Amino acid sequence: MKEYDIFVPLCYNDGTSVEARKFQNIQSQLLERFGGLTFFPQPNTGLWKMAGVTYRDEIVIYRVIAADASETRAYFAEFKERLKLDLEQLDILIVERDVTTI
User: Residue 62: which pLDDT band, with cuts at 50, 70 and 90?
Assistant: very high
CA distance 35 to 56: 32
Residue type for 70, please? Answer: S
Strand order in the sheet with 93-98: 38-50, 53-66, 2-9, 93-98
User: Residue 48: which pLDDT band, with cuts at 50, 70 and 90?
Assistant: confident
| Widest CA span in the chain | 44
Which tens digit of pLDDT belongs to each residue from 65-97? Answer: 999 889 999 999 999 999 999 999 999 999 999
Domains in the chain and their CATH numbers?
2-98 (3.30.70.120)
